[in-house]
Structure 1
Amino acid sequence: MEKKDLDWGNIGFTYMPTDMRYVADYKDGAWGEGALTADSNVVINECAGILQYCQECFEGLKAYTTEDGSIVTFRPDLNAERMMDSAARLEMPPFPKERFLEAVDAVVKANAAWVPPFGSGATLYLRPYMFASGPVIGVKPSDEYQFRLFATPVGPYFKGGAKPLTLCVSDFDRAAPHGTGHVKAGLNYAMSLYASVTAHAAGYDENVFLDPGTRTYVEETGGANFLFITKDGEVVTPKSDSILPSITRRSLVHVAEHYLGLKVTERPVKLAELSDFAECGLCGTAAVISPVGRIVDHGKEICFPSGMDEMGPVTRKLYETLTGIQMGTTRAPEGWIRKIV
């Protein structure tokens, strides 16, 4: 298939409308059939629950052109399951898993010309989202909802690609104890915007959010999970009930254990122990893994010696193995790759 005439190697992580998107409505206690549409606009009532009480959740996944020219997605079943969990926490009707997968397939097929070519460094980002579309006044769940899914080609999430990032420890909290930090709700990201803009204005790439209870443990950034490497090559990931369960992190843990033979530990990680680690990375669908060179804690600089100037050796192996699986150059575990075209 002929691809769109774009400078694939230089597109940013920005919205670019494609040909088709998917829409399904929930009314009278059931999801409608759903269909593709060329209309990128959303029309809702002025009193819609999303506008009044922020009833909304979303997902993020990618479609790739593999080495053999196929178009695939990576573990979309896990995105479907996580979105169902998010919906349940927000008193929204879960969108069925099989319907989710069918919607992903349909949108990717309809926008196949927008899937960047193999080797370009770009991907087709897919954004499923659901919101309360029915009017509601008074704090309560809506009776009507809409599920939508659009696609947009994107380049690297962080500018500079594999250049190590500099983060700062935030004075703000991303999520509340026993709140919604473990689900992918838009309100969590709205909470992080002020802190993110403040950090960028001060010259930092991202924030480090601490646990909201004691503010002594590392949780995540505004859009990615942490992954640390010890001086002995052990992979350590923070454990907390208010961290979003990252599909990329889960996949990297499997890669570390079963492909690279590394020891992996998931445990609470204290801010005070960060200087003991050799490498640090941020992982998520958008970024895959972005290396972190240093973290600044109110003037105190914490450096990761094996990743100060470039991606550290263990982080690079993890990155290359996982992206190899996604792009078809490395054998994938059973069920990880869903071929669409």
Structure 2
Amino acid sequence: MSKNVNIDWGNLGFNYIKTDLRYVSTWKDGNWDNGNLVEDNKLAISEASTALHYGQQCFEGLKAYRTKENKIQLFRPDQNSKRLNNSCKRLLMPEVPEEKFIDACKQVVKANEHFVPPYGTGATLYLRPMVIGVGDNMGVKPAPEYIFCVFCVPVGPYFKGKMAPVNFMIADYDRAAPQGTGAQKVGGNYAASLYPHLLAVKRGFADCIYLDPATHTKIEEVGAANFFGITKDNKFITPKSPSILPSITKYSLLYIAKEYLKMDVEERDVLIDNISEFKEAGACGTAAVITAIGGIEYKENLHVFHSETEVGPITKKLYDTLCGIQIGEVEAPEGWIYEV
């Protein structure tokens, strides 16, 4: 690390910390400019920007990890690029070429290398790429200009010390509409989740679980994360639906469960009335990696999986294997790791 930064790496939360440089590129007249690193963490945009009025914006989240050998690596940024472009296509925004996306992420990590937490602290450098519609616009139509930006923030481990399970309740609200933007990482999905989340927290739960918007019979997402369950005969199951955000962590776990743990895996409907088929359950995503689910409250009954206090052995093994790959201690599948 080339510079000293006054950060208590062991006590980092998931909060904003201004780092030195971020990448900004502008799309205008049909093309992206070359982009550059800037010090200013404020974006100056038109008051009539579509991002502010019509929700024409999307974002991503990925992390940079420091290895025992002091190398820095990104985990599957090509998949984040693909997902960002899927969101852009859905909202009629220009796609960001994969090479440009990965290069921007690498530039930001290199420029803020001293903010990449040391190996062994459990902390990482979180990257937030985003595309927003900007420029003078009043009608409900695509923006005349766009900004692609990548900034970074050092963040701590989601779990402090013990990877303790947490409980969830079933939401009465929908996260996304059928045939809507549930499969895209767009801000509106998260805005819609703030109120149900508040209600869940007020009742003592970590968050709420959303059922499919059409029938309210199938589990779709756990707060802002994807659901998985381990059946009593050791199958790794995760919901399949056009309304679910395709989590890169989830698809990584599907591969790890099959290829590393030699489990049967399946993407299929997960009926809320059948949750007793699972002996373990969890939520997965970039920020949390894996959150073990202790129990789910449904129809005023709390269904407990493995335990409300201890993480199940298969969930723990999945967590350890994935984290090991990310920090370079478990051999990664080909193409998963990009060295910075």
2:339 maps to what in 1? 339
Q: What secondary structure sits across from 1:207 in the alignment?
A: strand
The corresponding residue for 1:149 is 150
In 2, the alpha carbon distance for the partners of 1:174 and 1:38 equals: 36
Between the aligned partners of 1:333 and 1:199, the Cα distance in structure 2 is 38
Where 1:125 maps in the other structure, the secondary structure is strand
Say whether the 8 Å CA contact 1:291–1:307 is kept in structure 2: no
* 2:270 maps to amino acid: V
1:157-188 CA deviation, whole Å, 9 max, x = no partner? 36675110110100000000000000111111
Answer whether contact 1:9 1:120 (CA < 8 A) is retained: yes
Give 3-state SS (helix, strand or coil) of 1:80's partner: helix
- Please list every run of 5 or more consecutive structure 2 residues that lacks an aligned counterpart in the other structure: none
- Aligned counterparts of 1:101 and 1:203: Cα–Cα separation in 2: 40
Distance in 1 (alpha carbons) for counterparts of 2:158 and 2:35: 30
Q: Structure 1's 142 and 159: CA in aligned 2 closer, same or farther, altered over 3 A? A: farther
- Asked whether the equivalents of residues 22 and 107 of structure 1 are also in contact (C-alpha less than 8 Å), the reply is yes
Question: Could you tell me how far apart the structure 1 residues matched to 2:48 and 2:89 are?
Answer: 22
Q: Which residue of 1 aligns with 2:287?
A: 286
Contact 1:278 1:307 in 2 (8 A): no
Equivalent in the alignment of 2:130: 129
Verify: 1:187 aligned to 2:188, yes or no.
yes
Q: Aligned residue for 1:82?
A: 83
Residue 126 and residue 178 in structure 1: after superposition, are their counterparts in 2 closer, same or farther (change >3 A)? same
Distance 1:97 1:11 in 2: 31
Opposite residue 334 of structure 1, the aligned amino acid is E
Match of 1:172 in 2: 173
Residue 29 of structure 1: how far off its partner (Å):
1.1
Deviations 1:252-302 (A, max 9, x none): 111111111011011010000112210011100111111010011141111
Q: Distance in 2 between matches of 1:273 and 1:76?
A: 35
Q: Secondary structure at the match of 1:92?
A: coil
What is the root-mean-square deviation of aligned Cα atoms in Å?
1.1
| C-alpha contact 1:75 1:335 (8 A) present in aligned 2 | yes
CA contact (8 A) 1:280 1:307 kept: no
Counterpart in the other structure of 1:104: 105
Contact 1:63 1:73 (C-alpha < 8 Å) held by counterparts: yes
Code of the aligned partner of 1:320: D
Amino acid at match of 1:120: T
Equivalent residue, structure 2, for 1:299? 300
Residue 309 (str. 1) matches residue 336 (str. 2): no
Q: Which residue of 1 aligns with 2:229?
A: 228
CA distance in 1 between partners of 2:81 and 2:162 (Å): 28
Mapped to 1, the partners of 2:126 and 2:319 lie a distance apart of 18
Q: Distance in 1 between matches of 2:170 and 2:86?
A: 29
Name the SS of the counterpart of 2:295 in structure 1.
strand
Q: Distance in 2 between matches of 1:105 and 1:20?
A: 12
Quick one: percent identity of the two aligned structures? Answer: 51
**Structure 1, unaligned runs of 5 or more:** none
TM-score by length of 1: 0.97
**Conserved? CA contact 1:9–1:155, under 8 Å:** yes
Q: CA–CA distance in 2 between the matches of 1:296 and 1:283?
A: 19
Deviation at 1:43, TM superposition (A): 1.0
Asked if 1:214 is matched to 2:186, the reply is: no
Q: Is the 8 A contact 1:189 1:222 kept in 2?
A: no
| Structure 1 pair 264–11 and aligned structure 2 pair: CA distance change class (3 A) | same
Name the CA distance, whole Å, in 2 between partners of 1:57 and 1:37: 21
Cα distance, 1:221 vs. partner? 2.0
- Higher deviation after alignment, 178-187 or 293-302: 293-302
Specify the SS of the correspondent of 1:249.
helix
2:167 touches 2:308 (CA, 8 Å); kept in 1? no
Corresponding residue SS for 1:204: coil
- In structure 1, the partner of 2:205 is 204
Give a deviation string over 1:50-87, Cα, whole Å, max 9, x none. 11101000000000001211000000000001101100
